[in-house]
């Protein structure tokens, strides 16, 4: 595999890993903010504070589908690159010895 192929593979793989991590963080944030909003409502917190917490929750909810879509695109890009760039010899080297 040429250096440019390795570099591109590393970049594309890094994008998938980063977006997967980002998606997990947004999902965790959404759960935490939902609990926070529920707790604030139960405790009778100030309406302004609740409104602000709800807006943070909504922002996290909005980011999840966007990040998921970008992750799917990056994964398709990586898959297409791997399938398209593997030559016969590198494919044989990548296969485990039977």
- Residues 49/40, Cβ–Cβ less than 8 Å: yes
Residue pLDDT, tens place only, 62-82 = 999 999 999 999 999 988 888
Q: What CA–CA distance (Å, rounded) separates 7 from 10? A: 5
pLDDT of residue 83: 79
| Predicted local distance difference test score (pLDDT) of residue 3 | 79
Are 90 and 98 in contact, with CB atoms under 8 Å apart? no
Domain coordinates in residue numbering, the chain = 3-80
- pTM flag (> 0.85): no
Give me the CATH code for the 3-80 domain, please.
1.20.58.90
Give tens-digit pLDDT for 11-67: 999 999 999 999 999 999 999 999 999 999 998 888 898 899 999 999 999 999 999
Element (DSSP H or E) covering residue 53: helix 47-85
How many CB atoms lie under 10 A from the CB of residue 71? 19
Alpha carbon 27 to chain centroid, angstroms: 10
């Amino acid at each position: 595999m040429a250096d440019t192929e390795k570099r591109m593979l590393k970049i594309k793989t890094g994008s998938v890993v980063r977006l997967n991590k980002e998606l997990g963080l947004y999902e965790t944030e959404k759960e935490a903010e939902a609990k926070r909003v529920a707790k604030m409502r139960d405790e009778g917190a100030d309406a302004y504070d609740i409104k602000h917490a709800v807006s943070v929750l909504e922002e996290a909810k909005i980011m999840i589908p966007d990040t998921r879509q970008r992750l799917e695109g990056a994964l398709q890009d990586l898959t297409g690159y791997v399938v398209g760039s593997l030559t016969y010899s590198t494919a044989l080297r990548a296969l485990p010895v039977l």
